[in-house]
Amino acid sequence: MAAVVARAHRLVPSRGWTDGGKPLARRIPSTIVTSITAGIVLAGGRSSRMGTAKAALEWHGSTLLRHVTGVVQRAVDGPVFVVRAPGQELPELDREIIVCDDPREGMGPMQGLAVGLRAAAEHAARPDVAFVCSTDLPFLHTAFVRAVLAGFGSDPGAEPEVDAVLPIVRGFRQPLTAGYRTALAPLVEELLGKGQLRPAHLLAECRVRVLDEDALLADRALAAVDPELEAVVNVNEPADYEAARRRPEPEVIVERYGVLATRGGGRGPRVVRAATIGHAADLVGLAFDGHILAAVNGDQIRSDGTLPLQAGDTVAFISADAGG
């Protein structure tokens, strides 16, 4: 995988160097390898079995598309693209999401993949790889996205480079919860021109790293939060959606700091079930408005109440006002 190698410095204790009895730190050069990752969410499916657009389905106070794009945003460090069908209306999304129009309808996910990979390849951030998924994945988790993208890294004894990372869960290939190199855009376009419209046609032309269930669950972070690999479960029919919607929201820990610490039932962390930052705030008696910010798992300061939360998250609310 193409990578940018940057020289950086880290601080380490220096033996024998002191300042008033306290050890000084000296700067030791280290090499950090970074690679930009992107996300592509395909929203242009016809949703014929569902009977209504999946992207706009309600999901715990938000929409299914907002939920899935938010999960992908949290997992990658580059841009996230949504590919929509010609004339398709989308629900409200985070302002950083890049919407791409698919000029050709009825060509299936390969056409959306071509549009998304081309947009990613031409983006100023120049992401090397992208996690690609459909919009109907209510249980997608950031840990799954990261585990798939980690498949592009070099393992001892493995091929040094692959074009695609393909999960196989419960015996089924998962090409719409997979990783692809953005450089594949011309090949996808070429295959479409030949009438080869299935992801299997693309994978047949690629160097593919397969991640079966054992390989996926070797990732400790993923095994801890999604041992059944429900990240790949999609909703195709109303009964699927209704069953998914009835499940309890994820269990998260909420902490409050500063002037917020005594609101909503006393100090200390609280465990609540909430699918968004806004709902978590409501449950501890906070109005998530412009005066409050949220830090998720120690970083990602957010003011968007629709940002999705996941099992294992810790949300810290702080006052955005000076002195709070």
Structure confidence by residue, pLDDT tens digits, 259-295: 887 665 566 799 999 999 999 999 998 988 878 889 9
Alpha-carbon gap, residue 144 to 150, rounded angstroms: 10
Is residue 231 a contact partner of residue 188, using CB atoms and an 8 Å limit? no
Top-level class of domain 37-243? alpha beta
Residue range 174-188, pLDDT digits in tens = 999 999 999 999 999
Residue range 85-144, pLDDT digits in tens = 988 999 999 999 999 999 887 788 999 999 999 999 999 999 999 999 999 999 999 999
Ranges of each domain in the chain: 37-243, 251-319
Between helix 142-150 and helix 64-75 the angle, nearest 10°, is 50
Is 251-319 CATH 3.40.605.10? no
Residue 39: Cβ within 10 Å count: 27
Residue range 139-149, pLDDT digits in tens = 999 999 999 99
Least confident of 131-145, 153-167, 186-200: 153-167
Same fold across 37-243 and 251-319: no
Tokens 């005066």 map to which residue?
291
**Given this model, what pLDDT does residue 259 score?**
81
Question: Nearest CA to 70 among 117, 116, 135, 148?
Answer: 135
Distance of CA 141 to the CA centre of its chain: 7
Q: What predicted TM-score, i.e. pTM, was given to this entire model?
A: 0.84
Residues in the chain: 324
**Please, what sign has the CA dihedral across residues 205, 107, 234, 83?**
positive
